[in-house]
Amino acid sequence: MKILILNGPNLNLLGKREPEVYGTQTFEHYFEELKAKYSIIDMEYFQSNSEGALLDKLHEVGFTFDGIIFNGGAYTHTSIALADAIAAIKTPVIEVHISNVHAREEFRHHSHFSRVCKGVIVGLGLDGYRLALESFLG
């Protein structure tokens, strides 16, 4: 099983960025733990701050991989192009947010992605990525 974890803008700063909201662990460290725990899954991780690079990655893996776990960061609330890409590809996408976006500012309440995603996990911290993996495992 091939799974891509795709992180959008500012998520490269996890561990340093607003730790009271996003925790103190770096994503690289968390990803190593996840790979060790789920060694049967062929997992790839890609992060970019650029909308174009995220689009290119969705196009690249979206017809061959078994699942994509996508935290689009703030592009979630703004990007119709990324929503169109999720709709265009064959690979199912699970949307993940570390924080509970519904308990935060009004502008974080709407996601352009949710209607074209298989499911959505919000507010469960980094564990949301593991739960999405479990869902793909079935």
| Residues in contact with ligand DQA by the rule CB under 6 A | 10, 71, 73-74, 76, 97-99, 101, 108
Identify which of residues 42 and 119 has a Cβ nearer to ligand DQA in the complex.
119
Q: Is 84 annotated as a binding residue?
A: yes
Active site residue 97: yes
Identify which of residues 65 and 113 has a Cβ nearer to ligand DQA in the complex.
113
Residue 62 CB, nearest approach to ligand DQA (Å): 20
Q: Is 108 annotated as a binding residue?
A: yes
Q: What angle do the packed helices 127-137 and 27-37 form, to 10 degrees?
A: 30
CA distances (Å), origin 28, targets 20, 21, 38, 66, 114: 19, 18, 15, 22, 26
21 Cβ contact partners less than 8 Å away, ≥ 6 residues apart: 98, 99
Q: Which residues are catalytic?
A: 22, 97
